[in-house]
Structure 1
Amino acid sequence: MTQPSLYFNETHDMLRQQLRRFVQREVLPHGETWEKDGMVPRAVLRRMGELGFLGIRHPESHGGSGLDTLASVVLAEELGRSSFGGFAITVLVHTDMASPHLANAGIAEQLARYMPDIVAGKAITAVAITEPDAGSDVAGMRTRARPDGDDWVIDGTKMFITNGVHADLYFVAARTDPDARGSRGITIFIVEKGMAGFRVGRALDKMGWRSSDTAELVFEGCRVPKANILGAENRGFYAVMQNFQNERTVLGAQALGEADKALEMTLAYVRERRAFGAPLWDKQAIRQRLALRQAEVAAARQLVYHAAWLDARGQDCVKEVSMVKALCGELVNRVMYDCQQFHGGFGYMREAAIERMVRDARVQAIGGGATEVMLEEIAKRI
């Protein structure tokens, strides 16, 4: 598929081609095994690091490529097209949702210590913000951190943390000013696996994204050196909000890739599958519904690309990104519903890729900002 030159340059196009080859050769033959194992092997992530895929947004001084938001969209779209949503989100949390906190706010010593291994895939990252009673409502956070000598001591629980079981580095948000209200008084800490007082409470069993590990994290008197504060003390909420725009754009692009792949698969299926003496494609109701979904995906694609283009230029795009997240999260589920429907009984079988893709897509309207939250963000700006 040729991309519009308004948004993408030769570097973006080359990245897309490289990613598509990687998915074809190193993901598709093994994805089902990863689904059963509940994780993406570390060797695969290291291979992605070797190929430069894990550092496309990070500084060249630390082994990255220093590319823009549009490069992240290319990455997310192509990983989404793999049809393995769990694999895609494992990578995207590392590249675009967790490690950017270090890239954006890390001081020189922190960047030098952690970034090379992050880019190489030797240290996998997770971001721990969501709690049992505070998901999209970041201001409702209850995890606390208090100073004690040369350390901070963290107490609390984080929930639904992608990469939570197998990550090496966690960027953990905690309330550090007990008197501050709402979104104020939150700080982000770098927590390393193995630090005293930090443990994985349990691995969570999910409906979809089966090859992505998801965890409950428990902090019970977890001691973190003061040198591990990331960014300014009590300003963590603003860092979270800053990266939400990139995160939600990437999630929209992932959903877009998933929808595009599902339509491609379904078009091939209905042209081969015969019923009542003719291919399903000959049924007007089916081909018109698929035509409509193609049109909707094409329109959503332009919105995703435009939002990424605005973000790459440093322009205020909260409204556009919120539209991306709401629209793509809902659209991918409509597309999957129809694609599974037109696969008939086969589409309900676990051996059918579309069955897995339906389960994976459901969370796109929930995670990273539920549709209802995104619609409120849009409403505030119209």
Structure 2
Amino acid sequence: MHTTLIILLMLTSSLIGWSQTPKKTYQGQGQVQEVDTSPRPIQQQYQTTFAFEDAGIYISNEFDGARLNGALMKEDTLMVWITPENAPINPSPWYAFKIWSDEPKEALVKFTYQNAKHRYFPKLSRDGESWQPLDSANYQEFNKGEADFGPNSLPETVVIKLSLDADTLWVAGQELQTSKHIFAWIDSLSQQSYISYSDIGESRLGRPMRNMKISEGKQEDKIVMVFGRQHPPEVTGWLAMKAFVETLTGDSKLAQKFRKEYTTYVVPLMNPDGVDLGHWRHSAGGVDLNRDWNQFYHPETRAVRDFLRKKTDEGAKLYFGVDFHSTWDDIYYTLDSVSVTNTPGLMAEWLSSIEDNIPDYEINAKGSVNGTGVSKNFLFREFGAESLVYEVGDNTPRPFVRQKGQVAAEQLMRLLLDRE
């Protein structure tokens, strides 16, 4: 029986990056504010199955997307330890593990985090594919709002009760959506004659940066860019992006007309290493990729930058870019109010039309200074594109997530075509 917490190993590979000055700057507020995104080492998660044979309980992190850094049985409670890939880091801990028992029983599982508070409400699955939220009656929080990580603060913890048996039970912060799931989705869509994909580069650890092309046009002079999963746990953003893209690829007359006029490119998995390694937020380069769109120290952001530069050098124009994320609540982070884009007024029209086409929905939009190294600012500064970071709430009901993705795509297609 394991009674010792696993000590994490440090991955200390030599990491080298480079940057390049943008070719063109469009009108907007603020100077570029550099944030150091040079590569940093990460802690490699030790993968194993913890066997507590006296209790007849087993818990494992031996699968892609797992995050479980240690486990200890204390009296009748299984203590699980969740730590990040490195620090400092946004304190939004991801967790995912498999658990089972020799005999049917109920078990208490207590989460312990390193300098972080519990964020994601547990999801359960019996096959790793179909997921349901834990019954709230089996979920209890302690010291909520009291943890400030000072010397006298009480740690914020969560205890859940699970019904175990010999069949594997998967427990995760959100539905598990790794590169396997996303690449299978790309393969499925690519059965359509107007959808194809190619790899525009590799991640730091050699995983493919897969880029999907959606077009029925004879030329690629008008481009829309879609991407997401820069932050591994942000699954609701991926689900909204999935619905958005599936609407663009659908059979409606609107979608068919749009595909003849506009080419859409989709990089649905910007951080394949972080997703498959079960990271809280960072890439295998140890940084938040959505701060690297100024310096381009990392191969993931460079792949998209170089791809778009090649397309615009060939004569295409980028009209719109959207980067899907997740946070506590739905927020549309737009450009600042003085930015002059390729499609003046499009963002305000688009947000208003989304609101008008979803009953009782009120848009929460926030314009932000364009001087930071996030994706939307790069897409505007270099290409003049209307762009935003679209944040989807962690606990937004999944049918509503899909509805918002569908409506957003429909209204974008309509508005762009109306400008022809």
TM-score, reference length from structure 1: 0.25
Structure with higher RCO (Cα < 8 A, 6+ apart): 2
Higher strand share: 2
TM-score, reference length from structure 2: 0.24
Higher helix share: 1
